[in-house]
Amino acid sequence: MNLEQLLSSLTERHVQLWAEGPHLRVRARDGVVDATLRSALVEHKPRLLELLHQARGAPESTRLEPLPRNGPPPLSLTQERLWRAEVQEPGLAPAHIATFAMRLDGPLDRDALTWAVATLVERHEVLRTAFALQEDTPVQVIAPPGLTVLKPVDLRTLDAEAQQEAVRRLLHDEQRRRIDLAQGPLFRAWLLLLSEQSHVMVMMMHHTVVDGASRGALVHELTVLYAAFLGGEPCPLAPLRLQYADYARWQRRWLVDEVLPRQLGYWKQQLADPPPRLEWPSGSSGPAQRRYLGGSVDFRVEQDLVERLRAVGQQAGCTLFMVLLSSLYVLLARACGQRDLLIGTPAANRGHTDLEPLVGTFLNTLALRLRPEGSPSFRELLTHARAVALGAYAHPDVPPEAIGGPTPDVMLVFKSIAPQPGLFALKATPLALAHDTALLDLTLYLEETPMGLRGEFIHDSDRIDAATVTGWARELHTLLRAFAEDPRQAIFPSPHPQRSP
């Protein structure tokens, strides 16, 4: 693995690197840094340290300090964007709720679990945060630590079928219930009692307080705390020196002083003369007032095909993500008759190593603009996608609101293999959740597993019907097989897509 491939893999897997003197530090979810990635980190350590020190200037002199609380802290840029969006479109609120549910089988200590959840909320101020207007400016309102109850819901008198329906109904109703951002709570947790040996734990988090990358950190801390409290031990986690509110204050100065001078020009150039919004084959733009109603279609790629696609990518100096990005581009370009496309993807870059222990909302959306010229083969498209992705990875910190350009209608979210969550002495099984909300027109979620790629298309059901998306899922799988077989084939068989700005 060369250095560019390593840097791409680190970005796509949301692995954080930083330098502490001569030491290279790594932060990632358990299981993400596999033997191949570890070997590449060792091989390229000198160059990585050099790049990190160059990027930071004088890293040891910029240690962040907690800021004095002489007034309510501002919102981070992501928080403010989400807050303003909900103020302007109240119907958007359900799409800003992230839900995590897992079934717990075995002897559960409810007191230890309740204490663990309460400790999480006490430990992370952002989980007790709401938002208020102060002189027409939104600010964070942080509630003091208090007793946080893991709300029990007793379903033990119901039979198995009725329990399943009750769980489904609770998840649906709570997901659709509008949360007052000024009152909160923006983090909620339930424990559904199915029997003495079976439970379902549910956590619902508003995107303004916890993003997808931070959710994994929360679950990890929960497992550590539960194991400690189960054994009668105190909290084993080191106290947090900083809180998310410190990040929100620091981020605004960092953006003006460091990020915009170095990175904004790239995005202004990339997104100049932007492509038109995608016109979906159904021809429906949805109701005048967008409802953000969503549907989902499963998508699977078998492991044998994944390995063949990975090999095609390696031959072109590309990661598996770049292969999937290129294939999704071909699907959409053919379906919509448009060759200049924006496809978004999340990037988890916190901007400073001192912020690594925090949970909150840190993800930024990178708008990857693919617009190949001529009649390229898939191999040539990969070269183009690689250049676009590497350029975006090198400029990951500019938020969309600072660019002022178009935002993608489509997202590609790719996750590397992640370990299964677990609580001490319990079998923990994540529950597959129905998606009835959609932030964008179309999002393809993919996750690596030992059996291949698994995921789903999430679509705005007012804009794209389920039958169309189901057909796209089949077509994408066909494209992946074809490109694995012959990456030299043209991506646009005659006639070419017609609409181009």
pLDDT of residue 132: 95
Half-sphere exposure of 136 (CA within 13 A, CB side): 0
Q: Which two tokens stand for residue 492?
A: 């646009």
pLDDT of residue 21: 66
| Dihedral-angle region of residue 269 (phi above 0 means left; psi in -120 to 50 means alpha; beta otherwise) | alpha
pLDDT of residue 95: 87
pLDDT of residue 62: 57
Q: Which domains does the chain have, with CATH numbers?
A: 3-61 (1.10.10), 77-230 (3.30.559.10), 264-485 (3.30.559.30)
User: Are 217 and 244 contacting, i.e. CB atoms less than 8 angstroms apart?
Assistant: no
Helices (H), 256-319: 260-270, 303-315
Q: How far apart are CA 393 and CA 251, in angstroms?
A: 19
User: Are 322 and 172 contacting, i.e. CB atoms less than 8 angstroms apart?
Assistant: no
pLDDT of residue 475: 98
Q: How far apart are CA 341 and CA 12, in angstroms?
A: 20
Q: Which two tokens stand for residue 235?
A: 């909290």
pLDDT of residue 417: 67
Q: Which two tokens stand for residue 121?
A: 């909320």
Q: How far apart are CA 477 and CA 457, in angstroms?
A: 13
Q: Which two tokens stand for residue 55?
A: 């990027």
- Threshold 0.95, pTM exceeds: no
Residue for token digits 């530090």?
25
144: phi then psi, degrees, rounded to nearest 5: -70, 160
Q: At what angle do helices 303-315 and 320-336 cross, to 10 degrees?
A: 100
- Name 476's Cβ contacts closer than 8 Å, sequence gap at least 6: 299, 327, 328, 331
pLDDT of residue 284: 64
The pLDDT profile of the chain, 501 residues, written as one tens digit per residue, is: 777 778 777 777 767 777 766 778 787 766 678 777 888 888 787 778 777 766 554 333 357 888 888 889 999 988 999 999 998 888 788 889 988 899 999 999 999 999 999 999 999 999 999 999 998 899 999 999 886 679 999 999 999 999 999 999 998 888 888 788 998 899 999 999 999 999 999 999 999 999 877 887 888 899 999 999 999 999 999 999 999 999 998 888 888 888 889 899 999 999 999 999 998 987 566 777 788 889 999 999 999 999 999 999 999 989 999 999 999 999 999 999 999 999 999 987 776 778 888 999 988 899 999 999 999 999 999 999 999 999 998 898 888 878 887 889 999 999 876 666 667 778 888 888 878 889 999 999 999 988 999 999 999 999 999 999 999 999 999 999 999 999 999 999 765 455 544
pLDDT of residue 58: 36
Q: How far apart are CA 250 and CA 242, in angstroms?
A: 11
Gyration radius from the chain CA atoms: 23
Q: How far apart are CA 445 and CA 458, in angstroms?
A: 8
pLDDT of residue 6: 81
Q: How far apart are CA 456 and CA 446, in angstroms?
A: 7
- In one-letter notation, the amino acid at residue 175 is Q
